[in-house]
Amino acid sequence: MIRATRNCPWNKCLFCPVYKGERFQRRPLEEILADIDRAAAFHGDIFQAAFLQDANSLAMKTPELAKVISYLKEKFPSVRRVTSYARARSVARKSVGELRQLHTAGLTRLHIGLESGYDPLLEYMNKGVTSDLLVEAGRKVKGSGISLCFYAILGLGGKLMLEGEETWRNHALATARVLNQVGPDYIRLRTLTIKEGMPLYEKERRGEFQRLSDAQVVREEELLIENLEVTSYLASDHATNVLMEVRGQLPEEKERLLTVIRKYLGLPPEEQLNFRLGTLLRLLGHASGYRTFAEFFLPAKREEAKAIMEQLEKEEPGQAQRLVEELNRTLI
């Protein structure tokens, strides 16, 4: 990891706890190149991938960023993949020609937070972009030859009513629309988790924002995937997600992914809670629990998690659900 910039130039999103109170800085080119020299001297040529930090290296001037990337590959000839986070507004400010220059230098993939394609929700969350700008940025990346990964946040709208309608539905449909217009190479799903340090935490504490239940989030995920018409790899590959098995190539594996989702939604609420608790316990190193959704259907596994749930509920009603929420917060 090479730190090309410090912190985030926007840093106003309600759902983000990172970089709060920190000032964004563009590092001098000489400092970055010196870091690369030190890394090469310390490690030698042992890496196949490099990541440019922090939240938005595309805020750098194109010639300087191209120099960083080409120098990195010169010092580490084994590096085959150079990736970075980028803010959509910074990408949109660059021409396709500039992005091609970065691709020629060796930039292989950009990770961009789409979050939602629903403009009222983007505005509520103070994302600082519109769906049109997200489409413009995504298409520019695709046109440059750089691989594009868009992130979408499940449950982002919670139980909000924006424009007089349930936000979760508009969030899913509008996000699918943007993804269909861009056709990113990768779509990665994350689930909204609220913790102290996020501006959204205070809204939740005051009762201005309410999260969806796990089942409601998965229903939103179902609606999103039902409406995707892309050639993309979709990955629900984060521990905050209820169903991490929802990953595969679209459109070929779309029905398989929807089958997993519908199987979960068909479970009684207590079994949904059993699965989520067991999954989180296993992720955090507990001997019991489930590594996969398929393991949930093994009777012995399910009985182990059920016994833990019963003990928690015996101690204090509602404790199992509260533990799930607390464990979730430790994963972001």
* 13 contacts 127 by C-beta, under 8 angstroms: yes
How far apart are alpha carbons 128 and 151 in whole angstroms? 16
* 138 contacts 92 by C-beta, under 8 angstroms: no
pLDDT exceeds 80 at position 324: yes
Gyration radius from the chain CA atoms: 21
pLDDT confidence of residue 55: 94
Encode the chain in three state secondary structure: CEECEECCCCCCCCCCCCCCCCCCEECCHHHHHHHHHHHHHHHCCCCCEEEEECCCHHHCCHHHHHHHHHHHHHHCCCCCEEEEEECHHHHHHCCHHHHHHHHHHCCCEEEEEEECCCHHHHHHCCCCCCHHHHHHHHHHHHHHCCEEEEEEEECCCCCCEECCEEHHHHHHHHHHHHHHHHCCCEEEEEECCCCCCCHHHHHHHCCCCCCCCHHHHHHHHHHHHHCCCCCEEEECCCCCCCCCCCEEEECCCHHHHHHHHHHHHCCCHHHHHHHHHHHHHHHCCCCCCCCCCHHHHCHHHHHHHHHHHHHHHHHCCCHHHHHHHHHHHCCC
How far apart are alpha carbons 195 and 330 in whole angstroms? 9
Tell me the pTM: 0.94
Residue 148 pairs with which residues in a beta bridge? 110
pLDDT confidence of residue 284: 81
Domains along the chain? 2-265 (3.20.20.70), 269-329 (no CATH)
Q: Quick one: which of 249, 262, 263 has its CA closest to 294?
A: 263
Instruction: Of 25-29, 232-236, 258-262, 308-312, give the lowest mean pLDDT range.
Output: 308-312
pLDDT exceeds 80 at position 97: yes
Instruction: For the chain, report the end-to-end CA distance as a whole number of angstroms.
Output: 20
Output phi, psi for 51, to 5 deg.
Answer: -125, 130
pLDDT single digits (tens) 47-84: 999 999 999 999 999 999 999 999 999 999 999 999 99
pLDDT single digits (tens) 164-173: 999 999 999 9
Cβ-proximal residues to 302 (8 Å cutoff; 6+ apart), any chain: 274, 278, 296
185-206 mean pLDDT: 95
Q: Would you mind telling me the total number of residues written for the chain in this entry? A: 332
How far apart are alpha carbons 309 and 301 in whole angstroms? 13
pLDDT single digits (tens) 206-258: 999 999 999 999 999 999 999 999 999 999 989 899 999 999 999 999 999 99
User: Mean pLDDT over all residues of the chain?
Assistant: 95
Joined together, the tokens standing for residue 194 give 């609220």
pLDDT confidence of residue 255: 98
pLDDT confidence of residue 233: 98
Query: CB atoms < 10 A from the CB of 102, how many?
Result: 28
102-119 mean pLDDT: 98
How far apart are alpha carbons 180 and 182 in whole angstroms? 6
How far apart are alpha carbons 82 and 324 in whole angstroms? 36
